[in-house]
Structure 1
Amino acid sequence: MWEVVSVAFAVLAALGNAVASVLQRLGAAPKPSTRRALDWARHLLRDRVWLAGACVLALSGASQAAALATGRLAVVQPVMTTELPFTLVVGSLLFRSRPDRRTWLAFAAMTAGLAALLWMVRPSHGVPSVPGERWLIVGAGACVAIAVLSAVATQLPSAPKAAVLGSATAVAFALTAALMKDATGRINDGWGALFTAWQTYTVAAVGLFGFLMLQLTFRAGTLVASQPALTLGDAFLSVVLGALLFEERLTLGVWVLPEIAALALISYGSFQLARAPAVAGHTREETW
């Protein structure tokens, strides 16, 4: 019962992320007069479309928290890769772009790959909270990864820069989800335990950092370059963190090769969907 509730909240969060992604992509596209970082930031804070996307993103965050409170990290985050198919639908409506046959094939491949992967992996229930020493190791590793990826991105041209920043953002998002699950897992000890746990406030800090990284990723290049790294990186790292932090055991063994095939399907679908005009989008001047 709770597994169904968790998946439902995860799908709702993915839909919210899709709507927010399209709106913020429109708002974050820099105009000639907003090339400087400060001018661009002011432009975002005055842009009603971007602000609407930020509000939707906050609501999807609440849905994600509900999903993580009732389900497993290794299930919730992969389900949220459905953000990309939802982006296709939302983008098609907003940009009045009808998906072609190749795009629908990518949609089907990603959906089938995700369903197959979750069925084969079947992660077990883990521990509800994480010991502090595990967070020290994982947190330090995540900070180093983000710092290295961000430094590398500054030396790259637009498309690879967006892909590398998307990977760094994925690390931040996966860490945020893991912290969120650890925080919500303490509700069983009472709401006081939730509001006194350091994880609750770290979620806000890391989540805000990830949000800012996302805006830089949008600004760096096209969704074609950044979205696959962001979507797949978040899902993959969340599965790893579920095993490392929450002891969620995965079904491997003879299933490894079929699981790799399912991952390949998801990767193919993700890359092809990111190329679709309805997902990649256009500037607002081209669309409205």
Structure 2
Amino acid sequence: MILPLGLAVLAAVLNAAGDLLQRRSMRTEPGGHRGPLRLLARVTRRPGWLAGVGVSLVGLCVHVVALSTGTIATVQPLLVLEFPVAVLGASLLFGVRLSRRDGAAVAIMTLGVAAVVLCPAPGGGDPMAVPGATWGLGLGVLAVLVAVLAVAGVLTRGNRRAALLGTAAGVGYGMTAALLSAAGTTTRHGLTAPVGAWQTYLALVVGTAAFALLQSALHAGLLVASEPGLTLANPLVGVSWGVLVFGEHVRAGLWLVGTAAGAVLLAVGTVLLSRSPVLELRQGRSPAPRTEESEESEDSEDAVAAA
């Protein structure tokens, strides 16, 4: 139990670090490029960007090992920690002071993740015992959901498009985690067994599609619109797949109340943190410096909104 938890947290930290390294390199890239290929050709010559990609790949490998040694219902929610870690890291890296609301959001998300993981205490389940028909039905349902969200996003614009496409990407990443979890489990038959597992190759296809949807979401609108759906849909799909398809068992009774409360805290913290000015750095903008006056104004606005 401890090993997959530690690996999942490590994967979240590595993913956040890789993202920050890439974003830092991209911030120094002058504008005016025509097309993403020319931009990619330039940034691939930057050591910082390449280091970020390398760290992210290591994070992916650690994530796969975590899924192979633990239950997906335990591992996938912990990947949500990548979001607050990235915000905290960006604050330190770019010298932007977090507001009190940002600090509260990080604390709320952390408590939510802890409740979602510890209260149900998922266990058991066997991805290798899932019949082909069940795989087909489950993957088909998720594929239709992703398609509906993606089409709805294409038919809209602005932040609504970003929200729909971000949610579609989150569902796709959760789907990818389910496939990787099954592929990783095949290592019981040998370390090279995942090479022959069909889930490995389908995970590459689904993961690539989810990445493309995410890029479209980031291009369509603000992170405050795309981040909540992306952050929340991923663990929701992972936990649901683990319980309903892999047969992982969870604790019932009052533990379910604690799990539901944790999910609410996770959602609230995600929405609050998605409004952090630090996230503007991930879109190539420099946020306004934080002052006591701006924090007091922000707190006042939150108080009025809450009233």
TM-score norm. by structure 1 comes to 0.88
How many residues are paired up? 282
**Distance change (3 Å), C-alpha of 1:128 and 1:22:** same
Query: Is 2:207 the partner of 1:211?
Result: no
Cα distance, 1:19 vs structure 2: 2.7
Cα distance, 1:265 vs structure 2: 0.9
Q: Which residue of 2 aligns with 1:176?
A: 176
- Determine helix, strand or coil for the equivalent of 2:245: helix
Q: Which residue of 2 aligns with 1:112?
A: 111
Cα distance, 1:197 vs structure 2: 1.4
Cα distance, 1:170 vs structure 2: 0.8
Aligned alpha-carbon RMSD (Å): 2.4
**Distance change (3 Å), C-alpha of 1:198 and 1:256:** same
Q: Which residue of 2 aligns with 1:92?
A: 91
**Distance change (3 Å), C-alpha of 1:283 and 1:194:** closer
Q: Which residue of 1 aligns with 2:302?
A: none
**Distance change (3 Å), C-alpha of 1:159 and 1:212:** same
For structure 1, the 5+ residue unaligned runs are none
**Distance change (3 Å), C-alpha of 1:149 and 1:99:** same
For structure 2, the 5+ residue unaligned runs are 288-307
**Structure 1 consecutive aligned stretches of length 4 or more whose deviation exceeds 6 Å:** none
Cα distance, 1:62 vs structure 2: 0.5
| CA distance in 2: counterparts of 1:285 and 1:277, whole angstroms | 10
The worse-fitting range, judged by mean Cα deviation, of 77-86 and 43-52 is 43-52
| CA distance in 2: counterparts of 1:50 and 1:221, whole angstroms | 24
Cα distance, 1:229 vs structure 2: 0.9
**Distance change (3 Å), C-alpha of 1:191 and 1:203:** same
8 Å CA contact 1:128–1:186 kept in 2: the answer is no
Query: Is 2:4 the partner of 1:6?
Result: yes
- What amino acid maps onto 2:156 in structure 1? L
Q: List aligned pairs for 1:1-288, cutoff 5 A.
A: 3-23=1-21, 27=26, 33=32, 39-47=35-43, 48=46, 52-129=51-128, 130-281=130-281, 283-284=283-284, 286=286
8 Å CA contact 1:75–1:118 kept in 2: the answer is yes
* Structure with the bigger percentage of helix: 1
- Determine helix, strand or coil for the equivalent of 1:181: helix
**Distance change (3 Å), C-alpha of 1:15 and 1:278:** same
| CA distance in 1: counterparts of 2:100 and 2:189, whole angstroms | 51
- What amino acid maps onto 1:149 in structure 2? L
Percent identity of paired positions between Structure 1 and Structure 2: 36
| CA distance in 2: counterparts of 1:214 and 1:23, whole angstroms | 18
- What amino acid maps onto 2:11 in structure 1? A
8 Å CA contact 2:76–2:238 kept in 1: the answer is yes
8 Å CA contact 2:183–2:199 kept in 1: the answer is yes
**Distance change (3 Å), C-alpha of 1:285 and 1:144:** closer
1:111-139 Cα deviation digits (max 9, x unpaired): 11211222211112211423222211111
| CA distance in 1: counterparts of 2:21 and 2:163, whole angstroms | 20
Bigger relative contact order, structure 1 or 2 (CA pairs below 8 A, ≥6 apart): 1
| CA distance in 2: counterparts of 1:104 and 1:160, whole angstroms | 27
The worse-fitting range, judged by mean Cα deviation, of 66-75 and 213-222 is 213-222
**Distance change (3 Å), C-alpha of 1:45 and 1:138:** farther
Larger radius of gyration: 2
- Determine helix, strand or coil for the equivalent of 2:187: helix
1:174-194 Cα deviation digits (max 9, x unpaired): 111111110110111123432
